[in-house]
């Protein structure tokens, strides 16, 4: 590595304390950590500013350094040596410049001591620590698209996930490489057209996989793939020189590389579908308490638990599938709230009826209130996926980790999700009891018995015509089934009259 001018070095670190170059990764930097607050103030605007009056005198950097701003608005600095050096530290501050210059000399010395010759395609990233005796670093190679370091480092220290082979690890290093390119795209000078072709090929394959398989592992939905293909198609067919386009392609490539790592792409055991576990999970014996709770809630929690376990496999969750699930849950909760509110009105009317049981009506009001509160709480806790920037759930994986219980698994969460529907079921059952009690008080026991038989027959018909499924039927599906049953009955009557 070419040695930079170190005339600022003497004031940076003058003592003989222990100095450390600490390995880090492109996804573990303090990039999105803001320790300072902006301080806007009033100012005098010079006449003709940015026009005939010209621009303010810029801040100057030492020879070889240049400043750039990435598409997200973050400022960074590049030294045009070979290999090049990148940092996000503000080099307009003399002390910061001195510290960065010092650590560059330390890297130069480490390369010389180890007799390492780096190719021109390598780039060094430096990030100062709070203590002046330490500095974080990593290197990337544009030729091989990987991240690497100058000394051995364990995956635990680097906060990397566990791996099954070095080829498996390379996918993670490629993900980190593209993350680096995503954040520092403006000085690269461009990318070859073949990289665009590789990304297009991956998106075409992923889109096809999503269209032909309901449990595809590709990270983007078919709609997202189509949108990306349309965007990339508008960038032309030659080499990519625009930093904004490089930023876009790098972000997509980083997600694709992450998916390859998660799917164990090219390994002996490969994840073919997103609901397939290749790491295994410990057997958990169900507690008697949650078994009773599930019975009380009509077994609805079991449906949600099965869905949670399908969504979150091997500590992985596809955001698009999570969004679809939450959207469907929200629609059902809204429907349940409207049904519960209607039944609350009926319970209040029964409460005013002197012939009805006051105790049963009060119980019905309490159940309706609980159903409304639980449904509204779930809607607030789980916003629309389109509003995710303001959502309370920013990371579905963290959500599942927090919801997991060593004793109950996801059964507690499943019970919470089931409350609006289960409470509505209890309200309906209570309303039937109230109706029978009111019928007995106003007519006779025989009439009430006949009504009970009719209700039982309707329940059996619904049970018979609603097909068995893994998911519990919604109220809309029950209504559609009843209409289908009535239409079939009318059709049979018509056929019978024709025969006569």
pLDDT digits (tens, 9 = 90+) for 59-72: 888 889 999 999 99
Please tell me the predicted confidence (pLDDT) of residue 442. 66
Which secondary-structure segment (H or E) carries 207? helix 193-212
pLDDT in tens, 379-419: 999 988 764 433 445 588 888 988 888 888 899 999 999 99
Residue 456 lies in a domain: yes
Q: Is the pLDDT of residue 452 over 80?
A: no
DSSP β-ladder status, 84-87 and 75-79: antiparallel
73 and 22 part of one domain? yes
Please tell me the predicted confidence (pLDDT) of residue 365. 93
What number is the average pLDDT over the span 447-465?
58
pLDDT in tens, 346-358: 889 888 888 778 8
Angstrom CA distances, 411 to 407, 455, 469, 470, stand at 9, 32, 20, 17
9 and 110 part of one domain? yes
13 and 124 part of one domain? yes
Please tell me the predicted confidence (pLDDT) of residue 370. 95
DSSP β-ladder status, 84-87 and 122-128: parallel
Residue 290 lies in a domain: no
Angstrom CA distances, 45 to 56, 57, 155, stand at 11, 14, 53
Residue 464 lies in a domain: yes
121 and 178 part of one domain? no
Residue 54 lies in a domain: no
267 and 310 part of one domain? no
What number is the average pLDDT over the span 194-204?
95
Residue 222 lies in a domain: yes
Q: Is the pLDDT of residue 141 over 50?
A: yes
pLDDT in tens, 266-313: 999 999 988 888 888 767 778 888 889 999 999 999 999 999 999 999
Half-sphere exposure of 140 (CA within 13 A, CB side): 25
Half-sphere exposure of 297 (CA within 13 A, CB side): 26
Residue 41 lies in a domain: no
Last residue of a domain, one of 115, 133, 160: 160
Q: List the one residue out of 231, 137, 206, 146 whose CA is nearest residue 181.
A: 146
Global pTM value: 0.76
Q: Is the pLDDT of residue 454 over 90?
A: no
Kindly tell me the burial class for residue 416, based on how many C-beta atoms sit within 10 Å of its own C-beta (0-12, 13-18, 19 or more). Answer: middle
383 and 453 part of one domain? no
Exposure pattern of 73-111 as b/e (b: 16+ CB <10 Å)?
A: eeebbbbebebbbbbbbebeeeebbbbbbbbbebbbeeb
Taking the C-alpha atoms of residue 340 and residue 445, their distance in angstroms, rounded to an integer, is: 29
Query: The tokens of 269 are what?
Result: 């055991």
Residue 285 lies in a domain: no
Compute, in degrees rounded to 10, the torsion defined by CA atoms 484, 486, 487, 490. 160
205 and 123 part of one domain? no
174 and 248 part of one domain? yes
Q: Is the pLDDT of residue 139 over 90?
A: yes
Last residue of a domain, one of 410, 438, 466: 438
126 and 10 part of one domain? yes
Q: Is the pLDDT of residue 93 over 70?
A: yes
- Give Dmax over CA atoms of the chain in angstroms: 110
433 and 460 part of one domain? no
Residue 50 lies in a domain: no
Cβ neighbours for 89, distance < 8 A, ≥ 6 positions apart = 77, 96, 99, 100, 126, 127, 128
Lowest mean pLDDT among 338-347, 445-454, 467-476: 467-476
Please tell me the predicted confidence (pLDDT) of residue 468. 41
260 and 401 part of one domain? no
Q: Is the pLDDT of residue 369 over 50?
A: yes
What number is the average pLDDT over the span 192-201?
94
Q: Is the pLDDT of residue 3 over 60?
A: no
Mean pLDDT, the chain, integer: 83
Please tell me the predicted confidence (pLDDT) of residue 108. 92
What is the domain extent for residue 491?
Answer: 443-500
Last residue of a domain, one of 139, 160, 181: 160
Please tell me the predicted confidence (pLDDT) of residue 321. 86
Taking the C-alpha atoms of residue 274 and residue 182, their distance in angstroms, rounded to an integer, is: 27
Q: How many domains does the chain have?
A: 4
Residue 458: how many other CB atoms lie within 10 Å: 11
Cβ neighbours for 325, distance < 8 A, ≥ 6 positions apart = 307, 311
208 and 144 part of one domain? no
């Amino acid at each position: 590595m070419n040695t930079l001018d170190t005339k600022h070095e003497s004031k940076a670190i003058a003592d003989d304390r222990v100095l450390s170059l600490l390995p880090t990764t492109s996804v573990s930097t303090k990039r999105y950590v803001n320790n300072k607050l902006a301080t806007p103030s009033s100012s005098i605007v010079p006449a003709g500013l940015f026009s005939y009056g010209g621009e303010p005198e810029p801040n100057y950097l030492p020879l070889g350094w240049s400043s750039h701003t990435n598409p997200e608005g973050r400022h960074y600095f590049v030294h045009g040596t070979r290999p090049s050096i990148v940092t996000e530290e503000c080099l307009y501050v003399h002390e910061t410049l001195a510290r960065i210059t010092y650590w560059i000399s330390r890297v130069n010395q480490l390369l010389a001591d180890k007799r390492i010759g780096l190719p021109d395609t390598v780039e060094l990233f430096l990030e100062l620590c709070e203590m002046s005796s330490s500095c974080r670093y990593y290197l990337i190679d544009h030729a091989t698209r990987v991240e690497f370091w100058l000394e051995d480092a364990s995956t635990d220290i680097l906060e990397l996930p566990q791996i099954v082979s070095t080829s498996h690890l390379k996918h993670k290093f490629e993900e980190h490489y593209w993350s680096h390119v995503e954040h520092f795209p403006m000085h690269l000078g461009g990318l070859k057209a073949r990289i665009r072709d590789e990304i297009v090929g991956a998106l075409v394959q992923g889109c096809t996989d999503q269209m032909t398989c309901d449990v595809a592992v590709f990270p983007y939905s078919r709609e997202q793939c189509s949108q990306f293909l349309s965007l990339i198609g508008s960038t032309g067919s030659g080499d990519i020189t625009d930093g904004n386009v490089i930023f876009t392609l790098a972000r997509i490539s980083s997600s694709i590389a992450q998916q390859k790592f998660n799917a164990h792409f090219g390994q002996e055991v490969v994840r073919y579908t997103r609901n397939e576990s290749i790491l295994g999970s410990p057997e958990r014996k169900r507690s008697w308490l949650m078994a009773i709770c599930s019975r009380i809630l009509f077994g609805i929690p079991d449906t949600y638990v099965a869905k949670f376990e399908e969504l979150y496999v091997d500590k992985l969750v596809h955001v698009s599938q999570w969004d679809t699930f939450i959207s469907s849950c929200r629609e059902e909760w809204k429907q349940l709230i409207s049904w519960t509110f209607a039944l609350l009105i009926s319970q209040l009317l029964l409460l005013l009826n002197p012939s009805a049981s006051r105790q049963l009506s009060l119980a019905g009001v309490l159940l309706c209130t609980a159903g409304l509160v639980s449904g509204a709480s779930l809607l607030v806790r789980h916003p629309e996926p389109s509003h995710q920037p303001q959502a309370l759930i920013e990371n579905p994986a963290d959500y599942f980790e927090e919801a997991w219980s060593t004793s109950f698994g996801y059964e507690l969460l499943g019970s919470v999700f089931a409350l609006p529907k289960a409470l509505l079921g209890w309200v309906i059952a209570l309303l039937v009891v109230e109706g029978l009690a009111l019928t007995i008080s106003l007519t006779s026991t025989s009439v009430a018995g006949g009504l009970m038989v009719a209700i039982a027959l309707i329940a059996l018909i619904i049970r018979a015509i609603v097909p068995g499924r893994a998911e519990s039927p919604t109220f809309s599906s029950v209504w559609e089934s009843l209409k289908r049953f009535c239409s079939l009955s009318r059709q049979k009557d018509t056929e019978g009259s024709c025969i006569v």
